[in-house]
Amino acid sequence: MTDRLRKALAGVSAAATAFSAQMTDYDALLEAIVTSCSRALDATCTLGLFSADGVTITPVALSSVRPTEDGVLEGLLRQPRTFAQSLVGQLAPGSGSAFVSDIACSDLRAQVNPETYVAIERFGVRGFISITMRVRGEALGVLTVLQHDTTRAPLDDFDREIAAHLANLASFALANARLFRRAQDELAGRLSAEQVAERTRTSELRAVQANAFIDAILENIPAMVFVKDADQLAFVRFNRAGEQLLGIPRNDLIGKTDFDLFPKDEAEFFVAKDRETLRNQRMVDIPEEPIETAGGTRWLHTRKVPILDEHGESRYLLGISHDITDHKRDMVALVHARDAAEAASSELEAFSYSVAHDLRAPLRAIDGFSQALLDELGDELGETGRGYAHRVRSSAQRMGALIDDLLRLSRVTRSPLHRERLDLGELLRTTIAALQRDDPDRRVEIVTAGELVTHGDPRLLAIMFDNLAGNAWKFTSRRAGARIALSSEDRDGERVFSIADNGVGFDMAYVDKLFGVFHRLHADSDFPGTGVGLATVQRVVARHGGRVWARGEVGIGATFSFTLGDTKRT
């Protein structure tokens, strides 16, 4: 075997190995084809591939044994051209291969177009082999070997045979690689299609789950929730509370408009509000609107909200309606009750005024003329007569006191509450000082302890202290070492004030009657009183939102405790 043959075999073998190695990498195979050919034939080698229509040849790989200095040849070889312009296309379009060993000794100039010849001559191409690569009749590309190296022997038939082998091997490798690539693409396509399907299934599932989630929420909201499409204002969604409110099953609501379901004037109102919401793209609040339902007219408080799409256009209308019928009816009843109470209150006020003025005048006359009787005819009356006159006077005065107490009680109920900062210790001392003026000989120890500054209505609390401290003063009157103590303590987050005395006390069996009007636990001859005082105290405390209670023990004393509600509020 000659060296040349051995070398050629080695080149073809290396090419075959390289081609099969690059079977799965199409682009690497294209490079391997030109590189292998170039090495095996010691010449520049280019590979062009046909376009799908077979007209154009696009160079895809080039391996140059001795690159030209300016790279112009390489540039030219990389330019796409039509098959008709190619060497093989010009020289042997039918057979598919062209071979010129030595251009100088050929009549190539006459066979190709001048541009091609000029280019060949200019770049010093001495000979070439150009072979159309075919597999099962399909032209894949053109493999061209160019000999432009003066040191190499001209291309001969042996080179041509080797080139043909290599082109053949390359053709099959290329066809296989294409098959493989197509199979791979198809596989990849199928996989991605499956993935797409899977993703679609997943996102559909998520959408279904999200829908079910929203549905579950909507279904269980205890207010009517509905959605209308922005164009037709037809219902597209309705929840259970809505069905129940209207008394119409959902299936009879979906797709309907307000005009299908409600009286014309109501439907017109609803639709006008819908349009307003969608037009302004802002929530509309309708505090009260009537709606005809299977169960009669109901009143709704409705909020309408526009739902926008990704372009900011109103797409849906969301409505949320609370049934305020019962609330409204209660409010009406409440207003009636309040009006009635106010009417009763103003009647009471008129009555109180009348009591104050009209009842007291005759009492004044009874008392005054009894005194006149005593003044003018005292001697003639005798002792018994004068005694009767005095009893008439004291009865009139007692009735006057009773009327005054009742008036005070009614004033406590009527007058508005104005809280101010005030010191209950100070209030107690002022109250006691007034009692002391009327009874200068009494000695009573006054003790205060704890935080006694609070917020309350000064006039009402003054009336209350007149009664509480007045009671303590009164019921300690027969006792030596009388003591009245005011204290405060915080109990369960609430400030509790207490006024304690060491007076005659009371039996806890009667504690429930203590705060009732006209209830008295002591005979008037023991301790005078009208029985209105503690009722007044209770009302003052109630006006403050507080509570009052009492503890007592006969012969030991009594303690009245009270709270004043939220003292921060005015």
Residues of this chain that interact with other proteins (CB under 8 A) are 353, 356-358, 360-365, 367-372, 393, 396-397, 399-401, 404, 407, 411
Nearer to other proteins (CB atom), residue 282 or residue 390: 390
Q: Report the residue number, 104 or 361, with the smaller CB distance to other proteins.
A: 361
Minimum distance from residue 520 beta carbon to other proteins (Å): 21
Please give the span between the terminal C-alpha atoms of the chain, in angstroms, as a whole number: 122
425, 476, 484, 492, 567 from 449: Cα distances, Å = 9, 20, 11, 19, 19
Least Cα distance to 266 among 242, 238, 240, 300 occurs for: 300
**Burial call 111-149: b when 16+ CB within 10 Å, e when fewer:** ebeeebbeebeebebbbbbbbbbeeeeebbbbbbbbbbe
- Smaller CB distance to other proteins: residue 267 or 374? 374
Between 370 and 502, CB nearer to other proteins: 370
Q: In the bound complex, what is the minimum distance in angstroms from residue 543's beta carbon to other proteins?
A: 16
Q: How far is the CB of 371 from other proteins (least distance, A)?
A: 5
State how beta strands 314-323 and 420-423 pair. unpaired
When the beta carbons of 366 and 556 are compared against other proteins, the nearer one is: 366
Closest CB to other proteins among residues 368, 458: 368
Q: What is the DSSP string of 481-511?
A: TEEEEEEEEEETTEEEEEEEE-SS---GGGG
If the CB atoms of residues 325 and 370 are measured against other proteins, the closer one turns out to be: 370
The CB-of-438 to other proteins minimum distance in angstroms stands at 12
Q: Which is nearer to other proteins, 365 or 449 (CB)?
A: 365
Q: Where are the beta strands (DSSP E) in 294-388?
A: 296-308, 314-323
The CA distance from 409 to 517, in Å, is 10
Of 333 and 372, the one with the shorter C-beta distance to other proteins is: 372
Q: Which residue has the tokens 């509600």?
A: 565
Q: Which is nearer to other proteins, 275 or 386 (CB)?
A: 386
Q: Which of 159, 143, 133, 132 is nearest to 46 (CA)?
A: 143
- Please identify, using beta-carbon distances, which residue of 93 and 528 lies nearer to other proteins: 528
The least distance separating other proteins from the CB of residue 360, rounded to whole angstroms, comes to 5
DSSP for 40-99?
A: HHTSEEEEEEE-TTSSEEEEEEEE-SS--SS-HHHHHHTS-EEGGGSHHHHH-TTTSEEE
Query: In this complex, which beta carbon is closest to other proteins, that of residue 176 or of residue 397?
Result: 397
150-159, Cβ contacts within 8 angstroms, sequence gap of 24 or more: 150/124, 150/126, 152/42, 152/43, 154/101, 154/102, 154/126, 154/127, 155/41, 155/43, 155/99, 155/100, 155/101, 155/127, 155/128, 155/129, 156/101, 158/4, 158/8, 159/41, 159/43, 159/129
- For residue 355, the minimal CB distance to other proteins (Å) is 10
Q: How far is the CB of 330 from other proteins (least distance, A)?
A: 34
- Residues 38 and 5: their CA atoms lie apart, in Å, by 16
Q: Rounded to the nearest whole angstrom, what is the least distance from the CB of residue 345 to other proteins in the complex?
A: 15
- Least distance (Å) from other proteins to the CB of residue 461? 16
Using an 8 Å Cβ cutoff, are 254 and 238 in contact? yes
Q: Which DSSP string do the residues of 236-298 spell out, in sequence order?
A: EEE-HHHHHHHT--GGGTTT--HHHHS-HHHHHHHHHHHHHHHHHTS-EEEEEEEEEETTEEE
Place of tokens 């303690």: 559
392 vs 435, which CB is nearer to other proteins? Answer: 392
Distance between CA 508 and CA 555 in Å, rounded? 12
Q: Minimum Å distance from CB 365 to other proteins?
A: 4
- Specify the pairing of strand 81-82 against strand 56-63: antiparallel
Task: Measure the CA–CA gap between 309 and 321, rounded to whole angstroms.
Answer: 23
How far is CA 140 from each of CA 29, 53, 83, 90, 173, rounded to the nearest angstrom?
14, 11, 12, 18, 11
Min dist CB 459 to other proteins, Å, is 9
Q: Nearest distance from residue 369's CB to other proteins, in Å?
A: 7
Q: How far is CA 175 from CA 21, 97, 114, 136, 331, in A?
A: 14, 19, 35, 10, 90
CB of 407 to other proteins, least distance (A): 6
Closer Cβ to other proteins, 76 or 403, answer by number = 403
Query: What's the closest the beta carbon of residue 335 comes to other proteins, in angstroms?
Result: 27
